[in-house]
Amino acid sequence: MKSYILIFFSFLCISLSAQGKKQLWAKSYLNKHAPELIVEKWLSDKPDTEGKFILIDFWATWCGPCKQAIPELNKFQSEFKDELVVIGVTDETKYTVNKMKSPVMTYFSAIDTKQRSKRSYKVKGIPHCVLIDPNGIVRWEGYPTLKGFELTSKVIKDIIEKYK
């Protein structure tokens, strides 16, 4: 069943991006204050986000596009380590996340089985990323590999330079 949903979602992404509109599967907070990030348990160390940009990735172990995005998110964390904190948030259990051996996340990760943050962002489709500036304002949001609206190093660099 999940594979059919994934195929449908991928087709929908391609169809909508061809229309030239950025489709969101969450409530838009662009240029507004981001909801508070609430997690149940950190699977990594808790990050120091003071004065930094925060990239939140809502994801799951069963989600193919989420797993495909992990190496790129690892790269962003490494490339912008002085200015950016990448945080992966899933509503799965610690046990389920720990069973995933590949790809390996090198950025911060947390679980929230009660979906508090996911609900506050009204996330309906994953992966969903939100880039927040040091003042708590959302500067980028969406499906990170949506054709024509991809989250790239250049996009992040431009946002950091504009809002730091």
pLDDT digits (tens, 9 = 90+) for 54-103: 999 999 999 999 999 999 999 999 999 999 999 999 999 999 999 999 99
Mean pLDDT of the chain: 91
**148-160 tens-digit pLDDT:** 999 999 999 999 9
Contact between 65 and 127 (Cβ < 8 Å): yes
Looking at domain 2-163, its CATH superfamily turns out to be Glutaredoxin (3.40.30.10)
Q: Would you call the peptide bond into 71 cis, given omega within 30 degrees of 0 as the criterion?
A: no
Q: How far is CA 29 from CA 34, 116, 120, 136, in A?
A: 6, 16, 11, 11
